[in-house]
Amino acid sequence: MTETAIELVGVNKWYGTFHVLKDINLTVETGQKVVICGPSGSGKSTVVRCINRLEEHQKGQILVDGVELTNDAASVNRIRSEVGMVFQQFNLFPHLTVLDNLTLGPVKARGLTKKEAEERARHYLERVHIPDQAEKRPGQLSGGQQQRVAIARSLCMEPKVLLFDEPTSALDPEMISEVLDVMVDLANEGMTMVVVTHEMGFARKVADNMIFMDAGEIVEHGPPEEFFGAPRSERCQKFLSQIL
Ligand code: ADP
Ligand code: MG
Residue 196 has pLDDT above 80, yes or no: yes
Contacts (Cβ under 8 Å, ≥6 apart) of 67: 75, 78
Rounded to the nearest whole angstrom, what is the distance from the C-alpha of residue 88 to the centroid of ligand 2? 9
Which atom of ligand 1 is nearest the CA belonging to 196?
2
Torsion, Cα 137 124 167 233, to 10 degrees, reads: 180
pLDDT in tens, 224-244: 999 999 888 999 999 999 988
User: What is the SS3 assignment for 9?
Assistant: strand
Beta carbons within 10 angstroms of residue 242's beta carbon = 9
Mean pLDDT score, 24-48: 98
- Give pLDDT tens digits for 100-125: 999 999 999 999 999 999 999 999 99
Ligand 1 mutation target, pool 12, 13, 20, 169, most atoms within 8 A of CB: 20
**Please, are residues 36 and 46 in contact by the beta-carbon 8 Å criterion?**
no
- Contact at 8 Å (CB) between 37 and 211? yes
Is any atom of ligand 1 closer than 6 Å to the C-beta of 44? yes
Contact 123, 44 (CB under 8 A): no
Per-residue confidence (pLDDT) for residue 83, from 0 to 100: 96
Cβ contact 167:154 at 8 Å:
no
Which atom of ligand 1 is nearest to 16's Cα? 25
pTM of the model: 0.96
Q: Which residues contact 194 (CB under 8 A, 6 or more apart)?
A: 6, 28, 33, 34, 36, 48, 51, 161, 162, 163, 164
CA distance 212 to 37: 5
pLDDT of residue 135: 98
Stretch among 66-80, 143-157, 158-172, 219-233 having the lowest mean pLDDT: 66-80
Long-range Cβ contacts of 49-57 (<8 Å, 24+ apart)? 49/165, 50/8, 50/11, 50/13, 50/21, 51/6, 51/8, 51/83, 51/163, 51/194, 52/79, 52/80, 52/83, 52/85, 52/163, 53/79, 53/80, 54/85, 55/13, 56/13, 57/11, 57/12, 57/13, 57/21
User: Which numbered atom of ligand 1 lies nearest the CA of 42?
Assistant: 3
Confirm or reject: Cβ of 15 under 6 Å from ligand 1. Answer: yes
- The amino acid at 31: G
pLDDT at 18: 98
117 within 8 A of 156, measured Cβ to Cβ: yes
Q: How far is CA 129 from the centre of its chain?
A: 20
Amino acid identity, position 58: Q
CB 161 within 8 Å of CB 104: no
Amino acid making up residue 15: Y
